[in-house]
Amino acid sequence: MKALSFLFVLSLLVFLGACTTGGSEPISEPPTESPESAPESAPALDSVTRGGLVPPPEVSPESYPAPAPVIVPPDEPYPGSEAAAESAADTSTAYPAQVDLSQITPQPSEDTGPVVAPQPGVPDAKTAVSHQVSQDLAQRLGVDVSEVSTVTAEEIEWPDSSLGCPASGMVYLTVITPGYKIILEAAGQPYSYHTDTQGNYVLCGEDGQPVSN
């Protein structure tokens, strides 16, 4: 029993001595690589890579699509050129239009002479004469003038001063006399008045002579 204890103690001392001898040896550090020994293919890390962001890949200009060609008509200047700028400046300036008066065909003017309008409230000459002879016929027949109507009233030029209704035994001036021939109607009967433009008139009968009062 003592021999076994002695052997155990001796083995323990041998083990402790081996551990002490192995622990005194220096621990070798792994070799560090110098900057010169770093592989040249390793990419340098910039601030974007260190922050966790990866920069977009570079795109070469050849990869962009070619712009569509600008088609310019033959008679128009190319956009951006000096001729185009001058053309734009010309369109912004307004010039008066020139008209060749020799190419305009004159239209003949119709000269119908002066037109005399009746005064307000005053009837024209034909209406005034018609009203005058209507009153004369109404007085001859003894009726109201409203019962006398005008059928026709036309301008006429009488060959003499008899107004186209000469009385027997009378002498008249042979001169053109302008006037009117007015046909009136009363109680269904026609009556013919011959007048001039001076207020003179005559009731002409069917025989072509003045009707006496």
Q: Give the model confidence (pLDDT) of 108-141 as tens digits.
A: 556 555 665 555 555 688 899 999 999 999 999 9
Residue 161 gets the label, from left (phi > 0), alpha (psi -120 to 50) or beta, of alpha
Residue 85 inside a domain? The answer is no
Model confidence at 48: pLDDT above 50? no
Residue 87 inside a domain? The answer is no
CB 196 within 8 A of CB 178: yes
Residue 161 inside a domain? The answer is yes
For the stretch 57-100, pLDDT in tens is 666 666 666 666 666 555 565 555 666 566 655 555 555 666 66
Please report the pLDDT score of residue 124 as a whole number.
Answer: 83
Residue 162 inside a domain? The answer is yes
Average pLDDT score over residue span 101-111: 60
Residue 174 inside a domain? The answer is yes
Q: Output the CA–CA distances (angstroms, integers) from residue 2 to 12, 14, 76, 141, in the order listed.
A: 15, 18, 125, 196
**Which range marks the domain in which residue 155 is found?**
125-204
Residue 133 inside a domain? The answer is yes
Domain count, the chain: 1
Residue 86 inside a domain? The answer is no
